[in-house]
Each structure stands twice: as C-alpha cells, then as structure tokens.
Amino acid sequence: MKKSLILLALVLFAASCGTGTKKEKWIQLFNGKDLTGWDIKIKGYEMNNNFKNIFRVEDGLLKVRYEGFDKFNNEFGHIFYNEPFSHYKLRIEYRFVGEQVPGGPSWAFRNSGVMLHSQSAASMLQDQDFPVSIEAQFLGGDGVAERTTSNVCTPGTHIVMNGELITRHCNNSKSKTYHGDVWVTAEFVVLGDSVIHHIIEGDTVITYNKPQVGGAHEGYPVPEGTLLKEGYICLQAESHPVDFRKVEILKLK
C-alpha cells in the first residue's frame, strides 16, 4: 500500500508539472501599429534619424524601404528594441520583396537579419557599419541557386562550434532555400553566453556556443574574449526591401 501511495504521488506531481499546465507568455516587441519601443541607427547619422524613412510601419508590417534613394551609399541601418535580453526564445516572420536599391552591394541582395546580444544603438559610432553582435543572417533565394538562410555572422565577435573557436565571419546553416516573396518563420533559442540555436520553420539549422567579443573595432570598450551574456535585439536594413510581420519574445529563466 505504501509503495502504491508513493507511486500515485509521483504520478500526480509529474502531471502537475506537465507542459500543458502553464501558458507561455510571449511579448510582442513589434506592436503592428508604430515603432514604439524601437531606436534607429543608420550609418552616417545620429541615433533616431530615420534617414529617408527607411524604417516604417504600413499595413501592420514593419517595412524596410528605399523609395527615396537614387543610389545606396552604404547607409546600413539597424532598428533596436530598447531593452536588453539574456535568456529567451525569439520568433520573427520575414519576407523579401521587390528590387534591391541601385548601388547596394551584390552580397546584400535579398539579405537582412537579426542581431542578437548586440551593443546598444546609443553606443554605436556615427559611421559604424554594423553593431558588435551575433548576426542571424536572413537570405532569400534568387530563383535558381541554393542559398541557405539563418546563417550566423559575427561582426566584432567570435563563437565556438564543436569545441573550436570560430573566427571566420559567416558560417552557413543547413536550411533549405526560400525563393520568391515567401514568408519565413525564424526562431532563436538564446541561453545567455552558453548556447544559441537557430530554427527555421521548426527545424534546427545551426547551433553554436560561447558568443564573445572578438575582432571589434579599435577603441571598443569591452575586452576581447569577453563572453556575451546579454544584449539588444535589432533588425537590419542592408539595401534590399524586407517586411517583418511578427517580432515576439518569450523570456526564459
């Protein structure tokens, strides 16, 4: 009898801890109406100078657009959510649209991304191209060639993969190619300075560890090798129009 009561108690305890008993509390970083909560930094301009309205909200979408440009002149842009995060799950829905602005570099064709563990917008230099961060790179296909998305790039940072310190700038994921103006769901599980997983349409496509400062610009105040335990989340504008219709986060303990 005693053993049966203990077994029953264990079963009831396990049931009370089941995943269906607690609703996940996702926070909408993009409210679908305006850019409340976000800061903008475009190369060559002071913070929150939204040069030529690159970032805007229309039709419930956060859009990157270049109608006001005759020619792109390396005005790389980033829009930062104004709160840092450490342990979280991030979900973003994105799509590439239209044509790249004239003057955009060839590598930036259907190219955007989200920066994880980024430095703040306020701490960027006025002429700095990209924030010191871990970039989850979004790439769209050209209709012909294979081109993976949710790769990892490392502006001013390094990562560890399979126990090896990786200093090359970009490392490809194992995702499929997404051609055309299709919506893609990208998720990221970020556990401080421990591990980061990239997930595309439910499939884990790359995993790495120990994000850290490495190869940052001269004068960057954080020492080389410092592990990145937290930072800001920002979306990129690199010369190709892109839409974001969902940016939401689930904080993890």
Spatial separation of the C-alpha atoms in residues 230 and 248, rounded to whole Å: 17
Spatial separation of the C-alpha atoms in residues 245 and 95, rounded to whole Å: 9
Instruction: Look at residue 124 in the predicted model and tell me its pLDDT.
Output: 98
Instruction: Look at residue 4 in the predicted model and tell me its pLDDT.
Output: 37
List the domain boundaries for the chain: 27-251
Instruction: Look at residue 23 in the predicted model and tell me its pLDDT.
Output: 84
Instruction: Look at residue 78 in the predicted model and tell me its pLDDT.
Output: 98
Q: How far is CA 94 from the centre of its chain?
A: 11
Tokens of 172: 């490809």
Spatial separation of the C-alpha atoms in residues 206 and 5, rounded to whole Å: 45
CATH architecture of 27-251: Sandwich (2.60)
Report, as ranges of residue numbers, the positions in the chain whose pLDDT lies below 50: 1-20
Helices (H), the chain: 2-16
Instruction: Look at residue 21 in the predicted model and tell me its pLDDT.
Output: 52
pLDDT tens, residue by residue, 116-163: 999 999 999 999 999 999 999 999 999 999 999 999 999 999 999 999
Give the chain's radius of gyration (CA, Å): 20
pLDDT tens, residue by residue, 151-185: 999 999 999 999 999 999 999 999 999 999 999 99
Q: Which residues pair with 111 in a beta bridge?
A: 139
Spatial separation of the C-alpha atoms in residues 157 and 172, rounded to whole Å: 16
* Ranges assigned E (strand) in the chain: 27-28, 38-42, 55-58, 61-64, 77-81, 87-96, 111-118, 134-139, 151-153, 157-161, 164-166, 170-171, 184-191, 195-200, 203-213, 232-237, 242-251
Residues 6+ apart with CB under 8 A from 206: 150, 151, 152, 171, 172, 173, 174, 197, 198
